[in-house]
Amino acid sequence: MSTGRPNADAGALFIEQVEQVIRDAKAAGVSMAEVCSTIGASRATHSRWMRRLPATIVVLQRMQDEVSQRLAAKAAAKTR
């Protein structure tokens, strides 16, 4: 069952990208509320992402975990 943060590394790149956008917006002298408004996103979108990963990232991580487990099982079966 997903809690929104599957494991410590699952969303690290995503969070890094969000933080970079926030830094770049600040450097450009624009607020994230203005950026979000311009692109048609909720003003709270970036804050919400920092608290809880978007569902698509959580699902993707679960898919990656499942495939990794199956690859490991397949490799183990070959060595038997």
> Rounded to two decimals, what is the model's pTM?
0.61
3-state helix/strand/coil string of 32-58: HHHHHHHHCCCCCHHHHHHHCCCHHHH
Looking at residue 60, what is its pLDDT?
78
Helix (H, G, I), strand (E, B) or coil at 4: coil
Per-residue pLDDT tens digits of the chain, which is 80 residues long? 444 444 556 678 888 888 899 999 999 999 988 998 899 988 888 888 878 878 888 787 887 888 889 999 999 998 87
